[in-house]
Amino acid sequence: MHTMKSALAVLWPPPHDPGTPALSVVDMHSGGEPLRIVLAGCPEVVGPTLLAKRRYMRQHLDHVRRRLMFEPRGHRDMYGAVLVQSELPDAHLGVLFLHNEGYSSMCGHAVLALGRFALDFGLVPVPPAGSREARVNIHCPCGLVAAFVECEDGRSRGPVRFHSVPAFVLATDLMVDVPGHGKVVVDIAYGGAFYAFVSAEKLGLDICSAKTRDVVDAASAVTEAVKAQFKINHPDSEDLAFLYGTILTDGKDAYTEEPTTNICVFADEQVDRSPTGSGVTARIALQYHKGLLALNQTRAFKSGATGSVFTGKAVREVKCGDFKAVIVEVSGQAHYTGTASFAVEVDDPLKDGFLLK
């Protein structure tokens, strides 16, 4: 009788289109939010700058995103990262972020995971003996982000923290007409991506007990209303001038030692399982702007989806164009979950993936 081991030896690797490289990945998560990091199999992403590479991938290699993010290999809330060369001399690596709708400008939970990954997979120099922390400079589409990885004997361990790009407030107390909810007051802030912030209570929801479907419907209605009624602009690049999603909060913006809870709905109704790293960045900038936080005052943020916690604090004031901005430090924990090699059969009608609505 054939054993499973002998059967694997007969049919390994599985049938695969010889003209399509297998996609090898490492899977991680930060606070419950997945990150699928492409190790091999993605064709070269061409372009003189990271933003140009982002445009090239969207136009020429989007099948890679769909194969990795969509079913049957992924799911509608999967998140990914393709590592590329950066044009910045100080960057250890460049990254393009993938989600169910396209390509993000920033992803904090991914930066936390990529910090560990870069150290463990030799993408940065081994820190000197006795070092307790390694620095990883990650070039994101929004700019250069520095991650600091706790380490021991040159391997990652424990939490990761990162310093954001300049984070700022674009609008406060913006009145938006949201279908089904009437006039709703929202704030818009940038933490590497733009988010609309609104207390869930204003939409008739309790962020700690509401059904996910109700959260998605309410947040998506706010996102579409803001897109239709307010123009987003960024002083550095038009590529960054878009609303990424809406973050519903528990309304507890004034400082407390207890975590404040939020849920982010972004891209095509994708729900972040973590507290949202770039959302924490933007929310810290918003609270600092409103005088609710001081520099280096740490605040805890809890995911309404999983209960996982990130912390954040504004570490220094800077400028972004004419906007007063802050650099925000976000801390959290990332974990490895596995590896995979994905095959593509040429006669598979669903080889590029699909999503259920």
Q: Where are the alpha helices (DSSP H) in 87-211?
A: 108-120
Best CA proximity match to 166, nearest among 284, 26, 36: 284
DSSP helix/strand/coil, 20:
coil
Token digits of residue 59: 């136009």
C-alpha–C-alpha distance, residues 23 and 131, integer Å? 34
Among 42, 107, 142, 264, which one carries the catalytic annotation?
107
Q: How far is CA 286 from the centre of its chain?
A: 19
DSSP helix/strand/coil, 315:
strand
Beta strands 243-249; 194-199: pairing state: parallel
DSSP helix/strand/coil, 285:
helix
Supply the DSSP symbol for 71.
Answer: B
Beta strands 182-190; 194-199: pairing state: antiparallel
Does residue 140 carry a catalytic annotation?
no
Strand-pairing partners, residue 301, are 260, 310
Strand-pairing partners, residue 136, are 147
Q: Rounded to the nearest 5 degrees, what angle is found at the Cα of 22, between the Cα atoms of 339 and 54?
A: 90
DSSP helix/strand/coil, 79:
coil
Q: Where are the alpha helices (DSSP H) in 153-276?
A: 212-229
**C-alpha dist (Å) from residue 187 to 100, 148, 172, 251:** 25, 30, 4, 12
The interaxial angle of helices 108-120 and 277-289, nearest 10 deg, is 130
Token digits of residue 33: 């939010």
**C-alpha dist (Å) from residue 98 to 66, 245, 270, 271:** 9, 15, 12, 14
C-alpha–C-alpha distance, residues 169 and 127, integer Å? 36
Q: What are the residue numbers of the active site?
A: 107
